[in-house]
Chain A
Amino acid sequence: MSRFVELDDVDLMYGGPDGTLALRGASLGVAQGEFLAVVGPSGCGKSSLMKLVTGLHPPSRGSVRVAGNQVDGPVKIAGMAFQNPIMLPWRTTIDNILLPLEIVQPHRRHFRARRKENEAAAEALLATVGLGGFGRKYPWQLSGGMQQRASLCRALIHQPELLMLDEPFAALDAFTREELWSVLQDLWLEKRFTVILVTHDLREAVYLADRVLVMSSRPGRIVAERRIELERPRSLARTFDPDFVAIVHELRDHISAVRQGEVS
Chain B
Amino acid sequence: MSRTERLAPWLFTVAFFVVWEIGVRVLDIGTYILPPPSLVFEQSWVFRQALFRNSMQTLYTTLAGFGIAVVFGLALGIFIGWSKTIYNGLYPVMIGFNSVPKVAVVPVLVLWFGIGTVPAILTAFLISFFPIVVNVATGLATLEPELEDVLRALGAKKMDIMLKVGIPRSLPYFFGSLKVAITLAFVGSVVSETVAANSGVGHLMLIAQANSEVPLVFGGLLCLAVLGIVMYAVFALLEQRFTGWAFRGQDRRAA
Give B143-173 as 1s and 0s: 1 = Cβ < 8 Å from A's Cβ atoms: 0101101111111100010001100110100
Query: Taking the complex as formed, is B253 at the interface, i.e. its CB lies under 8 A from any CB of chain A?
Result: yes
Interface residues on B, range: 20 to 34
Quick one: given A99-B164, A103-B164, A141-B253, are A86 and B146 in contact (CB under 8 Å)? yes
> B168 to A80, Cβ gap below 8 A?
no
Q: Which of A84, A104, A140 contacts B146 (CB 8 A)?
A: A84
> B147 to A86, Cβ gap below 8 A?
yes
Q: Which residues of B contact A74 (CB under 8 A)?
A: 152-156
Query: Taking the complex as formed, is A39 at the interface, i.e. its CB lies under 8 A from any CB of chain B?
Result: no
Q: Pick from A49-57, A171-179, A190-198 the stretch touching chain B.
A: A49-57
Q: Which residues of B contact A158 (CB under 8 A)?
A: 154
Q: Which residues of A contact B149 (CB under 8 A)?
A: 51, 54, 56, 80
Q: Which residues of A contact B152 (CB under 8 A)?
A: 56, 74
> B246 to A89, Cβ gap below 8 A?
yes
Q: Which residues of B contact A4 (CB under 8 A)?
A: none
Q: What distance in Å separates the Cβ of B152 from its nearest Cβ neighbour in chain A?
A: 5
Residue of B whose beta carbon sits closest to that of A105: B155
Q: Which of A75, A84, A100 contacts B144 (CB 8 A)?
A: A84
Query: Taking the complex as formed, is A82 at the interface, i.e. its CB lies under 8 A from any CB of chain B?
Result: yes
> B245 to A89, Cβ gap below 8 A?
yes
Q: Which residues of B contact A75 (CB under 8 A)?
A: 153
Q: How far does the alpha carbon of A257 sit from the alpha carbon of B171 in the complex, in Å? A: 50
What's the dominant secondary structure at chain B's contact region? helix
Interface size on A, residues (CB 8 A): 30
Query: Taking the complex as formed, is B248 at the interface, i.e. its CB lies under 8 A from any CB of chain A?
Result: yes
> B155 to A80, Cβ gap below 8 A?
no
Q: Which of B146, B154, B245, B253 contacts A100 (CB 8 A)?
A: B154
CB-contacts of B227-255 with A (<8 A)? 243, 245-246, 248, 253
Give A75-115 as 1s and 0s: 1 = Cβ < 8 Å from B's Cβ atoms: 11010101010101110000000011011110000000000
Q: Most B CB atoms within 10 A — which of A103, A164, A166?
A: A103
Query: Taking the complex as formed, is A188 at the interface, i.e. its CB lies under 8 A from any CB of chain B?
Result: no
Residue of A whose beta carbon sits closest to that of B153: A54
Query: Taking the complex as formed, is A138 at the interface, i.e. its CB lies under 8 A from any CB of chain B?
Result: yes
> B155 to A104, Cβ gap below 8 A?
yes
Q: Which residues of B contact A103 (CB under 8 A)?
A: 151, 154-156, 160, 164
Q: How far does the alpha carbon of A86 sit from the alpha carbon of B165 in the complex, in Å? A: 11
> A80 to B153, Cβ gap below 8 A?
yes
Give A141-163 as 1s and 0s: 1 = Cβ < 8 Å from B's Cβ atoms: 10000000000001100100000
Residue of A whose beta carbon sits closest to that of B149: A56
Residue of B whose beta carbon sits closest to that of A164: B153
Q: How far does the alpha carbon of A226 sit from the alpha carbon of B74 in the complex, in Å? A: 54
Residue of B whose beta carbon sits closest to that of A140: B248
Q: How far does the alpha carbon of A75 sit from the alpha carbon of B156 in the complex, in Å? A: 11
Q: What distance in Å separates the Cβ of B151 from its nearest Cβ neighbour in chain A?
A: 6
Q: What distance in Å separates the Cβ of A12 from its nearest Cβ neighbour in chain B?
A: 15
Q: Which residues of B contact A82 (CB under 8 A)?
A: 146, 150
Residue of A whose beta carbon sits closest to that of B156: A103
Residue of A whose beta carbon sits closest to that of B253: A141
Q: How far does the alpha carbon of A76 sit from the alpha carbon of B153 in the complex, in Å? A: 6
Q: How far does the alpha carbon of A187 sit from the alpha carbon of B155 in the complex, in Å? A: 25
Residue of A whose beta carbon sits closest to that of B255: A141
Q: Most A CB atoms within 10 A — which of B146, B153, B160, B246?
A: B153
CB-contacts of B67-90 with A (<8 A)? none
Q: How far does the alpha carbon of A78 sit from the alpha carbon of B153 in the complex, in Å? A: 7
> A88 to B153, Cβ gap below 8 A?
no
Q: Which residues of B contact A90 (CB under 8 A)?
A: 168-169, 171, 243, 245-246
Q: How far does the alpha carbon of A100 sit from the alpha carbon of B152 in the complex, in Å? A: 10
Q: List 23 A-B contacts (CB under 8 A).
A: A56-B153, A73-B155, A74-B152, A74-B156, A75-B153, A80-B146, A82-B150, A86-B150, A89-B248, A90-B168, A90-B171, A90-B245, A90-B246, A99-B151, A99-B164, A100-B150, A103-B151, A103-B155, A104-B154, A140-B245, A154-B150, A158-B154, A164-B153
B binding-site residues for A, Cβ under 8 Å: 144, 146-147, 149-156, 160, 164-165, 168-169, 171, 243, 245-246, 248, 253
A binding-site residues for B, Cβ under 8 Å: 51, 54-56, 73-76, 78, 80, 82, 84, 86, 88-90, 99-100, 102-105, 138, 140-141, 154-155, 158, 164, 166
In the A-B complex, the 9 residue pairs with the closest CB atoms: A54-B153, A76-B155, A104-B154, A90-B245, A82-B146, A103-B156, A103-B154, A86-B147, A80-B150
List 8 extra interface pairs beyond A76-B154, A104-B155, CB under 8 A: A54-B153, A78-B154, A88-B165, A89-B245, A90-B171, A99-B151, A104-B154, A155-B150
